[in-house]
Amino acid sequence: MLDTVRYLVGSAGSSGFGSKSTAEEVTDASPDLRSITAIITGATSGIGAETARVLAMRGARLVLPARSLKAALEMKARITREFPCSEIIVLPLDLSSLSSVRSFVARFLSLKLPLNLLINNAGRFSYNYAVSEDGIEMTFATNYLGHFLLTKLLMEKMAETARTTGIEGRIVNVSSGIHSWFSGDCLRYLDLVKRRKTPYDGTRAYAVSKLANVLHTMELAERLKQMSANVTANCVHPGVVRTRLTRDREGFLTDLAFFTASKLLKTIPQVMRRRPTVSHVYFLSSAQLFRRSLWLQAAATTCYAAVHPAVTGTTGKYFADCNESSPSAAAACRLAAPRLWSASEAMVADTTQDLTPQRVCG
């Protein structure tokens, strides 16, 4: 109850930040990121876009993978209008396609760039059952499995960059508090849905994918330690805020629900009440300005885990409102994380075989 009250009023936690802190505020302690190269998935809108904008403001070189190159190029143009010295590279990536993930990694590695920061932010919410080209339920494929393969293929590059530069590498997986809405066996559930043994529920599938994100983070942190890599892995809950995840269900009721939730859970930061600066020009309407203020807050925890000095050496943790928090009991299951990793390796290695689901958590 006390945690809920603190969240609603925005009181700061031990980090000095809280639910009302913005991405710009939490990166004040890291004003010069010109030595950092970051890959940010899902950076064409919402939380990912604000994360990219703020990191560019601090000088980081950005690589923006996107399914829509047009959207990514528009985002690049917006950022460079605000910060003309920004270095931004756009590359194609469809996270629901394992072949696309491999192609993206090959293109990135061919650029011979360092990689200090990987932010797995992109997300999808499928209301209706659909499968990817690899035969995987679409929400799980996009939110988790694509990011699993992307991270796996880039781990050595990040370890190498950390060795040669002496700068700690960081991997940030954007999960959600909704991961706690599912407490069973992730792969068992997906198998039952695939075989039509249980009805598909979009919210349940989303919760499964977000639980997988947390489990992935825990096991990833252990494997990076085993590699003796100077790379950390943490996951974050960005808070309750509307993004393009709901684009399949636009309408009055959706607008009303999110507007009400936003009023209850977020307030417009003081920075957004001031006269708009050049950085706000492309957000034309008051509704868009209000929404962006929420994104600034929602991006804060991601940016905190990504670049704040206080997080140095911290790995395998779950953050909410820029403070360490506790994930659900299912997410903390020590047996579940390595089992999911093993099953995921099999899925990305060969999705044509009929895998027998393993129990991920009891």
Go through 174-210 and write b for each residue having 16 or more CB atoms within 10 A of its CB, e for each that does not: bbbbbbbbbeebbbebbbbbbeeeeebeeebbbbbbb
Is residue 155 within 8 A of residue 341, CB to CB? The reply is: no
> Alpha-carbon distance 278 to 280, whole Å?
5
Q: Which amino acid is at 295?
A: W
Q: For residue 38, which of 69, 71, 79 has the smallest C-alpha distance?
A: 79
Residue 134: count other Cβ atoms within 10 Å of its Cβ.
17
Q: For residue 26, which of 243, 236, 284, 274 has the smallest C-alpha distance?
A: 236
343 contacts: CB under 8 Å, gap ≥ 6: 187, 355, 357, 358, 360
> Alpha-carbon distance 295 to 47, whole Å?
5
Is residue 43 within 8 A of residue 74, CB to CB? The reply is: no
200 catalytic? Reply is: yes
Is residue 152 within 8 A of residue 214, CB to CB? The reply is: no
* CA-derived radius of gyration, the chain: 19
238 contacts: CB under 8 Å, gap ≥ 6: 47, 174, 176, 298, 299, 301, 302
Residue by residue, DSSP assigns 125-162 as --SS--B-TTSSBHHHIIIIIHHHHHHHHHHHHHHHHH
| Most distant CA atoms of the chain, gap in Å | 58
Which candidate in 127, 129, 189, 200 is catalytic? 200
Residues annotated as catalytic are 200
